[in-house]
Amino acid sequence: MGKLFSAKNKEVFSTPLGLNNPVTVQVLGICSALAVTSKLEPAIVMGLSVTIITAFANVVISLLRKTVPNRIRIIVQLVVVAALVTIVSELLKAFAYDVSVQLSVYVGLIITNCILMGRLEAFAMANGPWESCLDGIGNGLGYAKILVIVAFFRELLGSGTLLGINILNHQWLKDLGYVNNGMMLMPPMALIICACLIWYQRARYKELQEK
CA distance to 58, 62, 94, per residue, from 66 (Å): 14, 8, 36
pLDDT over 60 (residue 139)? yes
DSSP codes, 84-125 = HHHHHHHHHHHH-HHHHHHHGGGTGGGGG-HHHHHHIIIIIT
* Mean residue pLDDT across the chain: 87
Q: Is the pLDDT of residue 60 over 60?
A: yes
Query: 161: which strand partners?
Result: 166
- The 3-state DSSP class for residue 79 equals helix
Please indicate whether residue 1 or residue 32 has the higher confidence score (pLDDT). Answer: 32
Cβ burial 44-65 (10 Å sphere, 16+ → b, else e): bbbbbbbbbbbbbbbbbbbeeb
Instruction: Return the C-alpha torsion angle 114, 134, 91, 84, nearest 10.
Output: 50
Residues 193/49/116/205 CA torsion (nearest 10 deg): 40
pLDDT band at 153 (very low <50, low <70, confident <90, very high): very high
Q: What is the pLDDT of residues 85-104, one digit of tens each?
A: 999 889 888 888 888 887 77
Higher per-residue confidence, 195 vs 211: 195
Distances in Å between the Cα of 191 and the Cα atoms of 27, 144, 151, 164 are 11, 16, 11, 23
Model pTM? Answer: 0.88
User: What SS3 state is found at 187?
Assistant: helix
What pLDDT band is residue 210 in, cutting at 50, 70 and 90? low
Would you place residue 64 in the very low, low, confident or very high pLDDT band (cuts 50, 70, 90)? Answer: very high
Q: How far apart are CA 23 and CA 166, in angstroms?
A: 29
